[in-house]
């Protein structure tokens, strides 16, 4: 509908061997009927029915409605690229419990090896987005110019870690807010890139740094958010006013599993509450934005993630959420909680405004 710049999609991954290994084996509780996503379980009194902008059925590749990595990218990734070229900010975040397919959707199967889109069908949204970006740049008219810069960082326990830093000292970085251009990370590595090939090296480097951090600190991989950002600076003529700047942030959120019922009893789960502060705040920000009539205060600054995403969640940008779920009966509660979170998000209505470059 007009004016709605938020897209909410749900993706259902296949049953894994781990799912089957639970006592009695897990059954599939998710069904699709037309535009409805149905949760059917004998432990529920009635079926639960949800609707979203898109439902990606990725359970079995033999199904006629099977959604591949390419399908998911085409539906939710490409529109972000289109709006970036028009000068709008954009943001996509993957939300769901650990093991539900966030990283698979965002990055792919072989995160630290090769991200060769032509030979790897499992490449996720980020490498596809980046390759398409350079494809489009190569087809631009000769008087147009687009400069591309990327950054890649993680937020763990409200602290920012640069995934592209080459220096040995990897102290957490700080956030500051520019009066006109909004929040940014101080001293973050920002790499100019001229080709997909060059960009891919940074993706691999960041993924490797992420993996190293995850193995030295056991649960870090499920409890940190990773943010990969691409900034475009487009010039179409000689006039400075014709320049446009836009930023796309592609976010693999921390596992949502502690959000459930436990987040009200904050003492019990001190660590969990702290770690998931961003998800809690994201929920609050989403509700405040959804409840536009009340002209509510939007608590962006209550977490580092939402503060940094401020320009992508408010009125100045396009936002997409990909909620990932497991089809297994053993994950019923977490799945329902993810589906409800995504439903609430669907109510946000953003009004986008074209960004202009700073006039120096
Ligand atoms: P998360 O990042 O949410 O913790 P992962 O993306 O690591 O979850 O996925 C967990 C496991 O499920 C991985 O082994 C991954 O390869 C597999 N998986 C997830 N989504 C899919 C999918 N759509 N198709 C095939 N395998 C998937
Ligand atoms: Mg992951």
Ramachandran area for residue 193 (φ above 0: left; ψ -120 to 50: alpha; else beta): beta
Residue 357 placed within a domain: no
Q: Are 224 and 155 in contact (CB under 8 A)?
A: yes
What distance in angstroms lies between residue 323's CA and the mean position of ligand 2's atoms? 13
Residue 351 placed within a domain: no
Residue 358 placed within a domain: no
Q: Give the residue from 129, 134, 229 showing the smallest Cα distance to 188.
A: 229
Running DSSP on this structure, what letter comes out for residue 347?
T
pLDDT for 84 equals: 93
Residue 125 placed within a domain: yes
Number of structural domains (the chain) is 1
Look up the domain containing 244 and give its range.
Answer: 6-345
Residue 344 burial (CB count, 10 A):
13
Bridge partners for 31 per DSSP: 38
Q: Are 307 and 173 in contact (CB under 8 A)?
A: no
* Residues shown for the chain: 360
Instruction: Among 59, 67, 99, say which to mutate for ligand 1: greatest number of ligand atoms within 8 Å of CB.
Output: 99
Bridge partners for 123 per DSSP: 108
From CA 85, how far away is CA 133, in angstroms rounded? 9
Q: What is the pLDDT along the chain (360 residues), one digit of tens a residue?
A: 334 577 899 999 999 988 888 877 789 999 999 989 999 998 888 999 999 999 999 999 999 999 999 999 999 999 999 999 999 999 999 999 999 999 999 999 877 776 676 777 889 999 999 999 999 999 988 778 899 999 999 998 899 999 999 876 678 999 999 988 889 999 999 999 999 999 999 999 999 998 887 766 667 778 899 999 999 999 877 776 678 889 999 999 999 986 444 444 444 445 555 557 888 898 888 777 766 666 678 899 999 999 999 888 866 678 899 999 999 999 999 999 999 989 877 654 444 445 555 443
Bridge partners for 321 per DSSP: 8, 93
Bridge partners for 50 per DSSP: 37
Residue 256 placed within a domain: yes
From CA 252, how far away is CA 213, in angstroms rounded? 15
CA nearest ligand 1 atom 5, residue:
101
What distance in angstroms lies between residue 278's CA and the mean position of ligand 1's atoms? 22
Quick one: angle between helices 196-216 and 125-138, nearest 10? Answer: 160
pLDDT for 216 equals: 67
Q: Which residues line ligand 1 (CB under 6 A)?
A: 13-14, 16, 58, 96, 98-104, 109, 324
Residue 352 placed within a domain: no
Ramachandran area for residue 157 (φ above 0: left; ψ -120 to 50: alpha; else beta): left
CA nearest ligand 1 atom 17, residue:
101
From CA 67, how far away is CA 76, in angstroms rounded? 12
From CA 342, how far away is CA 321, in angstroms rounded? 7
Q: Are 95 and 342 in contact (CB under 8 A)?
A: yes
pLDDT for 123 equals: 93
CATH number at residue 285: 3.40.850.10
Residue 167 placed within a domain: yes
Q: Give the residue from 68, 40, 38, 74 showing the smallest Cα distance to 56.
A: 68
pLDDT for 115 equals: 61
pLDDT for 267 equals: 44
Residue 16 placed within a domain: yes
Q: For the whole model, what pTM was predicted?
A: 0.90
């Amino acid at each position: 509908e007009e004016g709605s710049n938020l897209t909410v999609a749900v993706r259902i991954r296949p049953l894994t061997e781990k799912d089957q290994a639970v006592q009695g084996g897990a059954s599939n509780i998710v069904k699709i009927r037309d535009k409805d996503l149905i949760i059917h379980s004998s432990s529920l009194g009635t079926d639960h029915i949800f609707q979203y902008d898109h439902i990606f059925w990725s359970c079995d590749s033999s199904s006629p409605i099977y959604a591949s990595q390419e399908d998911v990218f085409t539906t939710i990734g490409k529109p972000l690229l289109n709006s970036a070229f028009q000068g709008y900010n954009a943001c996509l975040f993957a939300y769901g419990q650990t093991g539900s397919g966030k990283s698979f959707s965002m990055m792919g199967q072989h995160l630290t090896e090769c991200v060769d889109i032509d030979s790897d069908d499992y490449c996720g949204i980020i490498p596809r987005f980046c390759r398409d970006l350079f494809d489009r740049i190569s087809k631009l008219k000769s008087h147009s110019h687009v400069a591309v810069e990327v950054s890649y960082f993680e937020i763990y326990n409200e602290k920012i870690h640069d995934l592209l830093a080459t220096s040995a000292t990897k102290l957490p970085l700080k956030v500051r807010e520019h009066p006109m251009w909004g929040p940014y990370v101080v001293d973050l590595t920002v790499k100019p890139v001229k080709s997909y090939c060059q960009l891919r090296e940074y993706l691999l480097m960041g993924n490797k740094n992420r993996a190293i951090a995850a193995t030295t600190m056991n649960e870090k991989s499920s409890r940190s958010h990773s943010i990969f950002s691409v900034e475009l600076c487009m010039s179409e003529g000689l006039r400075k006013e014709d320049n446009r700047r836009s930023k796309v942030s592609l976010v693999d959120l921390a596992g949502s599993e502690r959000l459930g019922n436990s987040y009200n009893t904050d003492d019990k789960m001190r660590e969990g509450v702290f770690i998931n502060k961003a998800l809690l705040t994201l929920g609050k920000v989403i509700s405040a934005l959804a409840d536009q009539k009340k002209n509510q205060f939007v608590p962006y600054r209550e977490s580092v993630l939402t503060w940094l995403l401020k320009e992508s969640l408010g009125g100045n940008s396009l936002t997409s959420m990909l909620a990932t779920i497991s089809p297994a009966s053993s994950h019923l509660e977490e799945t329902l909680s993810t589906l409800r979170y995504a439903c609430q998000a669907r109510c946000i209505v953003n009004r986008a405004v074209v960004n202009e470059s700073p006039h120096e």
